[in-house]
């Protein structure tokens, strides 16, 4: 059957939607539904086969070959579609679930209509690959003598380890956590990424020859001297885990926690890992305020609602974005517009342009928050816009639990960053040059350590870039 070149005009975009609210609030399983194979084929038919595919060339950090992949899906060529997808993306089962799809924001069909459902097509391709048995352990036929240590088992570390291993290098991944996966396992809630998906991939990587050393803090349990004496190259992929704090009166009150502490703990509880009851963060029956309007904040909202919070509010200091793409971010740029998540449908309430002034408490325990509304005004004739409190808008709310989800300011201090004395940039991230080489010979860095807090898909791309840099370095050192 020939593809209709006007499919993007005659076939409407269909999104899978979510499970019913009353159902999904009772569990931590994935909230998003899946389109049928017939629906995915129809959605692939919407691809325009445009001469310059901005989804591939501009939108996707990995450079996924989207038009050809969509065409293979339309013609039922699942094995070919999988080969195209895996040629650029090592873990499409992750990006197909958690990526915000910058490729779709750059889709030509989205200039004056709805973009193609690229993320859903990608997820279906990889899941078909597992179902059909097309994805099996691919152990290198020949092994090289060089050994590489990867510190950190999040997206960037896994991507670097995967590419190095496929090229025959002997790879060992170190991580201080109980299980591999980094933010994929511990930071992203199960209702967005169920952990069997992560475990399936880790098991495959182990079968392919990658060694995982868990509960090992590199720089503490093993020194940099040990790593550098045993391995020919080192890749640091430890993330940007230093949370941005809120220095206002009352910050020392009990009941105020960094968002990631809360999310990691909940993921550990679901996985059956031990959590000290004395330090458990629980929202049941509490009035919760999440400070920060991004995805991490939304994840906190969804988690608190599932724990049985009495009320959950999410505050953002920035003004409310427009419902449609703002003119300041024209296609194919990532659009500035309001994004509503499943957590907001479940009962979370968002309030924009709010600045926290103080936390209020009694006997050392949080009881409320004092805040005010802000306007964003220019700082000087050519300066940036800054928040300015609007007179007469101060208010107070009762709160028993506050979760700080205002982003991250860089890598955690200590460990290998200190002992290796790596050069940092003006933002505190590890400074790199070329193919992710650091200021120390043989030491490379990837992911949020170099990029700052970013997307899983960008971390994957950066991990692969670091792997290429390591291979070039080892080739020159022979």
pLDDT tens digit string along 238-264?
Answer: 999 899 999 999 999 999 999 999 999
Residue 167 confidence class, pLDDT cut points 50, 70, 90: very high
pLDDT at residue 250, as a whole number: 98
Helices (H), 214-345: 224-230, 259-270, 295-307, 342-345
Q: What is the mean pLDDT of residues 101-108?
A: 96
Q: What is the mean pLDDT of residues 431-453?
A: 95
Which candidate, 148, 242, 15, 11, places its Cα nearest to that of 470? Answer: 148
Provide the mean pLDDT of the chain: 95
Q: Which of 95-109, 209-223, 381-395 has the lowest mean pLDDT?
A: 381-395
pLDDT at residue 11, as a whole number: 95
Is 369's pLDDT higher than 80?
A: yes
Q: Are 250 and 172 in contact (CB under 8 A)?
A: no
Tell me which DSSP letter residue 110 carries. Answer: G
7-132 CATH choice from 1.10.1060.10, 3.40.50.300, 3.40.250.10, 3.30.559.10: 1.10.1060.10
Tokens of 110: 């989205």
Residue 417 confidence class, pLDDT cut points 50, 70, 90: confident
Q: What is the mean pLDDT of residues 272-301?
A: 96
Q: What is the mean pLDDT of residues 132-143?
A: 95
Residue 455 confidence class, pLDDT cut points 50, 70, 90: very high
Is 4's pLDDT higher than 80?
A: no
Tell me which DSSP letter residue 109 carries. Answer: G
Q: What is the mean pLDDT of residues 373-381?
A: 89
Report the DSSP beta bridge partners of residue 325: none
pLDDT at residue 316, as a whole number: 97
pLDDT at residue 441, as a whole number: 95
Residue 216 confidence class, pLDDT cut points 50, 70, 90: very high
Look at 245 and 112; give whichever has higher pLDDT.
245
Q: Are 263 and 300 in contact (CB under 8 A)?
A: yes
What is the pairing mode between strands 365-378 and 395-398? antiparallel
Q: Are 205 and 158 in contact (CB under 8 A)?
A: yes
Is 329's pLDDT higher than 90?
A: yes
Tokens of 454: 């970013």
Domain ranges of the chain: 7-132, 147-241+409-477, 245-406
pLDDT at residue 160, as a whole number: 98
CATH superfamily entry for domain 245-406 = FAD/NAD(P)-binding domain (3.50.50.60)
CATH superfamily entry for domain 147-241+409-477 = FAD/NAD(P)-binding domain (3.50.50.60)
Q: What is the mean pLDDT of residues 365-388?
A: 91
Is 382's pLDDT higher than 80?
A: no
pLDDT tens digit string along 73-97?
Answer: 999 999 999 999 999 999 999 999 9
Is 383's pLDDT higher than 80?
A: no
Q: Left if phi > 0, otherwise alpha if psi is -120 to 50, otherwise beta: which for 204?
A: alpha
Q: What is the mean pLDDT of residues 208-224?
A: 95
Residue 380 confidence class, pLDDT cut points 50, 70, 90: confident
pTM across the whole model: 0.95
Residue 8 confidence class, pLDDT cut points 50, 70, 90: confident
Same fold flag, 147-241+409-477 and 245-406: yes
pLDDT at residue 1, as a whole number: 64
pLDDT at residue 232, as a whole number: 97
């Amino acid at each position: 059957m020939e593809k209709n070149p006007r499919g993007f005009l005659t076939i409407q975009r269909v999104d899978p939607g979510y499970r019913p609210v009353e159902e999904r609030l009772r569990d931590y399983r994935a909230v998003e539904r899946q389109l049928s194979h017939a629906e995915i084929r129809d959605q692939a038919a919407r691809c325009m086969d445009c001469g310059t595919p901005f989804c591939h060339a501009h939108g996707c950090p990995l450079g996924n070959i989207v038009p050809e992949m969509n065409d293979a899906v339309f013609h039922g060529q699942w094995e070919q579609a999988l080969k195209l997808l895996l040629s650029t993306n090592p873990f499409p089962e992750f990006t197909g679930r958690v990526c915000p799809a910058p490729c779709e924001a750059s889709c030509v069909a989205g200039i004056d209509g709805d973009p193609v459902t690229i993320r859903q097509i990608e997820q279906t391709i990889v899941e078909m690959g597992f179902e059909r048995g097309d994805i099996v352990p691919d152990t290198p036929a020949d092994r090289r003598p060089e050994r590489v240590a990867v510190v950190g088992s999040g997206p960037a570390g896994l991507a670097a380890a995967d590419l190095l291993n496929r090229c025959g290098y002997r790879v060992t991944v170190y991580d201080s956590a109980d299980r591999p996966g980094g933010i994929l396992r511990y930071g992203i809630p199960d209702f967005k990424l169920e952990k069997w998906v992560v475990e399936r991939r880790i098991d495959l990587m182990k079968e392919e020859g990658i060694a995982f050393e868990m509960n090992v803090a590199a720089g503490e349990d093993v020194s940099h001297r040990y790593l550098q004496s045993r391995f020919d190259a080192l890749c640091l992929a430890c993330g940007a885990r230093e949370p941005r704090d809120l220095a206002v009166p009352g910050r020392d009150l009990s009941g105020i926690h960094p968002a990631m502490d809360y999310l990691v703990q909940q993921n550990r509880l679901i996985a059956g890992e031990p959590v000290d009851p004395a330090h458990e963060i629980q929202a049941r029956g509490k009035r919760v305020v999440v400070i920060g309007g991004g995805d991490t904040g939304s994840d906190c909202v969804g988690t608190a609602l599932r724990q049985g919070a009495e009320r959950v509010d999410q505050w953002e200091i920035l003004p409310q974005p427009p419902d449609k793409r703002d003119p300041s971010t024209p296609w194919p740029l990532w659009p500035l517009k309001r994004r509503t998540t499943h957590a907001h449908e479940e009962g979370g309430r968002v309030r924009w342009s709010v600045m926290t002034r103080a936390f209020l408490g009694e006997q050392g325990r949080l009881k409320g928050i004092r805040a005010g509304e802000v306007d964003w005004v220019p700082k000087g004739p050519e300066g940036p816009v800054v928040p300015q409190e609007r007179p007469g808008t101060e208010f107070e709310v009762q709160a028993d639990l506050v979760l700080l989800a205002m982003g991250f300011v860089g890598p955690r201090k200590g460990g290998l960053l200190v002992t290796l004395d790596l050069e940092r940039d003006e933002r505190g991230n590890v400074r790199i040059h070329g193919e992710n080489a650091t200021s120390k010979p043989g030491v490379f860095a990837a992911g949020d350590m170099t990029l700052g807090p970013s997307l899983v898909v960008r971390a994957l791309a950066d991990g692969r870039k670091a792997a290429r840099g390591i291979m070039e370095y080892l080739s020159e050192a022979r």
